[in-house]
Amino acid sequence: MPRAIVLCGSPRKGGNTDLMADAFTEGARQTGAEVEKVYLDDLWIRPIAEVADVPEMRVDLRQDDDARRLLDRVLAADIVLFAAPVYWQGVPAQIKAFVDRWACYWGQQGFREAMGRKVFAVVTAHASPEAQEGDWVINQVRAWADFLGARFVGSARFGGCEKGAVARSKDVLEQCRELGREASRVTAEV
Ligand SMILES: Cc1cc2nc3c(=O)[nH]c(=O)nc-3n(C[C@H](O)[C@H](O)[C@H](O)COP(=O)(O)O)c2cc1C
């Protein structure tokens, strides 16, 4: 049974990306996946501290916060969904701080091998009605997948600002469900 972890980057519970993440979860469960949801804003994750230039020499100086434990949960998953609103033309700090911390572990063979087996997906929301506004976040997650050797399975986007407005966009929620189903299906091939 594929395992998915949903990383919710918005501090707005019941907000647009949260509801999109739930639709993704529904789809993934329909195709047999087990899904765990994490609100990064509920955790204590500091920005990365100084690290050595050489990846193999790096140490995570901030192992007393929640980043390492969450990373272990990510490493144990087959599918990683980034549920991230567009904040200032990029991903929210909650997600960026966590992913930055991965640089502490990048020099470890086990980390690289585990990341290389994963499927990444992203759902995003943005206030601007311009569809391409979501590209800031989607392209970022796609670049992470490429760099880590993970498989990028796709994205869904919603243009709207009002909290939970995506609930009225049945087509967007269906895209999220289909993304969940697809992520679960391709996991078998990775
Ligand atoms: C700090 C902050 C920065 C934002 N930056 C942008 C932006 O650059 N472009 C945009 O279209 N919307 C921006 N927004 C609007 C959110 O992306 C939008 O409200 C989205 O629906 C929020 O998703 P959520 O409901 O999951 O929190 C910003 C919102 C906040 C709070």
**Residue 189 — pLDDT band, cuts 50, 70, 90?**
confident
What is the predicted pLDDT for the residue at 59? 94
Ligand 1, closest atom to CA 86? Answer: 17
Closest CA to 81 of 32, 145, 136, 12: 145
pLDDT digits (tens, 9 = 90+) for 80-133: 999 999 999 999 999 999 999 999 999 999 999 999 999 999 999 999 988 899
Would you say the CB of residue 89 lies under 6 angstroms from ligand 1? yes
Q: Give the mean model confidence (pLDDT) for residues 54-79.
A: 96
**Residue 190 — pLDDT band, cuts 50, 70, 90?**
low
Residue ID of nearest Cα to ligand 1 atom 2: 87
pLDDT at 77 over 80: yes
What is the predicted pLDDT for the residue at 104? 98
Residue ID of nearest Cα to ligand 1 atom 5: 87
Q: With 0-12 CB in 10 A as exposed, 13-18 as middle and 19+ as buried, what is 19?
A: buried
Q: Give the mean model confidence (pLDDT) for residues 166-181.
A: 98
Residue ID of nearest Cα to ligand 1 atom 28: 87
What percent of the chain lies above the pLDDT cut of 90?
96
Would you say the CB of residue 127 lies under 6 angstroms from ligand 1? yes
Q: Give the mean model confidence (pLDDT) for residues 62-72.
A: 96
pLDDT at 188 over 90: no
pLDDT digits (tens, 9 = 90+) for 118-128: 999 999 999 99
Asked if 39 and 47 count as a contact pair (C-beta separation under 8 A), the reply is no
Asked if 178 and 20 count as a contact pair (C-beta separation under 8 A), the reply is no
d(CA 64, CA 44): 9
Ligand 1, closest atom to CA 88? Answer: 8
Q: What angle do CA 136, 139, 145 make, to 5 degrees?
A: 140
Q: Give the mean model confidence (pLDDT) for residues 142-170.
A: 98
pLDDT at 54 over 90: yes
| pTM of the entire predicted model | 0.98
- Domain annotation for the chain: domains and CATH numbers: 3-187 (3.40.50.360)
Would you say the CB of residue 16 lies under 6 angstroms from ligand 1? yes
Would you say the CB of residue 126 lies under 6 angstroms from ligand 1? yes
Would you say the CB of residue 88 lies under 6 angstroms from ligand 1? yes
- Cα(110) to centroid(ligand 1), Å: 35
What percent of the chain lies above the pLDDT cut of 70?
99
Q: With 0-12 CB in 10 A as exposed, 13-18 as middle and 19+ as buried, what is 124?
A: buried
CA distances from 65 to 34, 52, 93, 98 (A): 26, 20, 16, 11
CA distances from 5 to 41, 70, 76, 129, 179 (A): 15, 10, 9, 29, 14
Q: Which of 12, 81, 86 has the most ligand 1 atoms within 8 A of CB, as the residue to mutate?
A: 86
